[in-house]
Amino acid sequence: MTSEEIRKRFLSFFKERGHAIIPSASLVPENDPTTLFTGSGMQPLLPYLLGEKHPQGTKLADSQKCFRTQDIEEVGDNRHTTFFEMLGNWSLGDYWKEEQIQWFFEFLTKEVKILPEKLWVTCFDGDETLGLSKDTKSAEIWKKLGIPESRIRFYGAKKNWWSRSGVPENMPAGEPGGPDSEVFYEFTQVAHDPKFGAECHPNCDCGRFLEIGNSVFMQYVKKEDGSFELLPKRNVDFGGGLERIAAASNNNNDIFLVNYNYIIKGIERVTKTKYEDNLQAYRIIADHIKAAAFLIGDGVLPSNTDKGYILRRLIRRGVRYSDILGIDKEFLSTLVDFVIEKYKDVYSNLSERAPIIKNEIKKEEEKFRDTLSKGLAVLNKELKAQIVKRGEAVEAQKISLIQGPGNVQISDYRPPNSMVTGRWLFDFYQTFGFPVEMIIEELKSQGYYFSPKEYKRLANEFKEEFEKHKEVSRAGLEKKFKGGLADTSEKTTMLHTTTHLMLAGLRNFLGEHVHQAGSNITPERTRFDFSHPEKVGRDILDKVEKYVNEAISKKCDVIIEQMPKAEAQKKGVEGSFWERYPDMVNVYMVKCEDGTIYSQELCGGPHVKNTKDIKGVFKIVKEEAVSAGVRRVKAVLE
């Protein structure tokens, strides 16, 4: 079965069982300062898991776009990807273990037609010190469904507990979490690799087992004193990797062959090479180009910090690996067409933003190709010089068995690590545009070995250099934060409502084509990106200021109205990416006593209750270009 078919079947399976189907949220989390990207299905639903009422009810299902930064360097084997779709179903204080486990089992075996004897399951073993009991209930349900005891394993919190911050010890107060029960598919054709331990088991990393679904029984919330209490309502949070389920359904342990064939074929055609001979390069290019397309589709642009840096790293790494395949011309921006074509009907923003996606990848590719070969030549020269200097030549230390990521080649000598300092890495990055992680990857392929401790030290040193440089080159360095609202302090909240008013003002004076393209709000100021083709004159900015200040001085109420999406659209409510929102939406309105509506926008809050709570005079202090068709303003309350 293909991933398209599995996605469709999953959603209709849960629809038939009373679930509302909700659209995927953006990869760029809205108003969530804790994370750079949406990496699981539950993140966008957090308020509802904590008890807020969801406009669509208590049973939901979706397929959520996810991106996991921590997996970038894992890509290259047959199962890791940075971008994936996570099928999800939720019970918000509704059904519990019995229904969840039974439904998922039925879905896998009846809908996807996976043989039950290929499935293993794991359950939570409990943690006495934290007062968390063993999940024998889930195990019983699995047994009733026919999974023999020999294929049910219990693990501790490291494996069978889920929260956004991992194990119970790492959870901050107020964070929800709970035990989970995972399902694994066994590729019996893959022999166990003893390198990973004497005995193979579901959580062994040798590749015989693949996790295909995780039912989290989210019933606890962490307290200030470190103990756990029960949530007012217990939830089920199920997540299953769509591409992995497809791999299991085909009994093929190569996620790429099953799900990325359309890109693989494209690479083969252009490079005249074969996938089988270049597994790592193909997989990296395929994963990174798909992820880059989706990230740009959700508004991320290449830059030197945060999300933009990760995107830049993906594209540049893609260029490096296409160089390995012998490509020295525009390549990635042509591959991206395949991705857009394949997903355009499911994720409409991909086709809407297709020209921007292509153009950004093309620009970034061109920029990096210019310096890639020069950089590699310098790197090799410096490494050789270092070896000669130490008089070690080829006789040097033999380090035959050091394993790099994926299947990088390890040469049999090791140049001294002393050359590699944060400063050196930074200079290299500055001159040639190699993201630091990529330089280290190059060094590893040359036989370097970095212990995790060394790696951390280098990363920190690099960061220091980076910060120093920023301070020198740009006075008044801005505090670094991760996107959306930096926090939920009173000042940030004030500026958030003010930002709504500003957008309404911009649309009022510039036209309806103006939409939000990104925002960053701290207690000090709001930074706001919007679609508009040219510079905005001071006269218009003055009018916008006046509009906002008028709404502030008129002491208008900020009210939330729930309404059907279609009605909101008809009323002219502002919002970008309508397809991400459910059929019932929350509209925040700034409405004055005289009936004037200053702003009406889709949002999840938080906002002030009345504009009289906004302290200060609104001022737009800067207007500049961000990229083609996108402008940025900075504004403050003085």
Residue type, position 634, single letter = K
Which stretch, 97-105, 115-123, 232-240, 604-612, contacts ligand SER (CB under 6 A)?
Answer: 232-240
* DSSP notation for 565-595: HHHHHHTT-B-S-GGGS-SEEEEEEEE-TTS
Answer for which of 89, 214, 253, 492 binds ligand SER (CB under 6 A) is 214
Our finding on whether 87 is near ligand SER (CB under 6 A) is no
Our finding on whether 88 is near ligand SER (CB under 6 A) is yes
214 by DSSP, 3-state: which?
A: strand
Residue (64 or 499) nearer to ligand SER, CB: 64
CB of 211 to ligand SER, least distance (A): 9
286 by DSSP, 3-state: which?
A: helix
User: Do residues 47 and 604 lie in contact, with contact meaning Cβ atoms separated by under 8 Å?
Assistant: yes
Residue (9 or 68) nearer to ligand SER, CB: 68
Our finding on whether 216 is near ligand SER (CB under 6 A) is yes
Residue (180 or 365) nearer to ligand SER, CB: 180
Residue (238 or 432) nearer to ligand SER, CB: 238
19 by DSSP, 3-state: which?
A: coil
Which stretch, 40-48, 94-102, 267-275, 557-565, contacts ligand SER (CB under 6 A)?
Answer: 40-48
Nearest residue to ligand SER, scored by beta-carbon proximity: 239
CB of 514 to ligand SER, least distance (A): 36
CB of 50 to ligand SER, least distance (A): 14
Answer for which of 73, 125, 237, 574 binds ligand SER (CB under 6 A) is 237
User: Do residues 174 and 188 lie in contact, with contact meaning Cβ atoms separated by under 8 Å?
Assistant: no
Answer for which of 41, 297, 299, 505 binds ligand SER (CB under 6 A) is 41
The secondary structure of residue 107, as a DSSP letter, is: I
User: Do residues 79 and 61 lie in contact, with contact meaning Cβ atoms separated by under 8 Å?
Assistant: no
Instruction: Give, in degrees to the nearest 5, the angle at Cα 611 between 607 and 614.
Output: 80
User: Do residues 557 and 591 lie in contact, with contact meaning Cβ atoms separated by under 8 Å?
Assistant: yes
Residue (59 or 369) nearer to ligand SER, CB: 59
What CA–CA distance (Å, rounded) separates 494 from 83? 35
Residues 115-144 that bind ligand SER (CB under 6 A): none
> Exposed, middle or buried, 398 (CB in 10 Å: 0-12/13-18/19+)?
exposed
Residue (104 or 331) nearer to ligand SER, CB: 104
Answer for which of 3, 24, 26, 40 binds ligand SER (CB under 6 A) is 40
**Between helices 436-445 and 422-432, what is the axis angle to 10°?**
110
Sheet with 584-591, edge to edge strand ranges: 557-564, 584-591, 597-602
Tokens linked to 176: 């929800």
Residue (104 or 434) nearer to ligand SER, CB: 104
Our finding on whether 162 is near ligand SER (CB under 6 A) is yes
CB of 182 to ligand SER, least distance (A): 8
Residue (235 or 497) nearer to ligand SER, CB: 235
Q: Which residue has the tokens 């970008």?
A: 576
User: Do residues 316 and 364 lie in contact, with contact meaning Cβ atoms separated by under 8 Å?
Assistant: yes
Answer for which of 6, 27, 42, 242 binds ligand SER (CB under 6 A) is 42
CB of 508 to ligand SER, least distance (A): 41
Which stretch, 12-20, 236-244, 338-346, 573-581, contacts ligand SER (CB under 6 A)?
Answer: 236-244
Tabulate helix, strand, coil % of the chain (nearest 5).
45, 20, 35
Write the CA distances from 475 to 467, 470, 472, 513, 542, integer angstroms. Answer: 12, 8, 7, 34, 26
User: Do residues 24 and 63 lie in contact, with contact meaning Cβ atoms separated by under 8 Å?
Assistant: yes
Our finding on whether 209 is near ligand SER (CB under 6 A) is no
CB of 237 to ligand SER, least distance (A): 5
Our finding on whether 29 is near ligand SER (CB under 6 A) is no
Our finding on whether 239 is near ligand SER (CB under 6 A) is yes
CB of 165 to ligand SER, least distance (A): 12
Contacts of 179 (CB under 8 A, 6+ apart): 123, 124, 132, 135, 138, 160, 161, 162, 216, 217
CB of 180 to ligand SER, least distance (A): 7
Residue (56 or 576) nearer to ligand SER, CB: 56
Residue (33 or 88) nearer to ligand SER, CB: 88
CB of 88 to ligand SER, least distance (A): 6
CB of 184 to ligand SER, least distance (A): 13
> Exposed, middle or buried, 169 (CB in 10 Å: 0-12/13-18/19+)?
exposed
Residue (40 or 349) nearer to ligand SER, CB: 40
Residue (238 or 256) nearer to ligand SER, CB: 238
Backbone angles phi and psi of 522, in degrees to 5: -115, 175
Which stretch, 237-245, 285-293, 318-326, 629-637, contacts ligand SER (CB under 6 A)?
Answer: 237-245
Chain contacts with ligand SER (rule: CB under 6 A): 40-42, 88, 162, 214, 216, 237-239
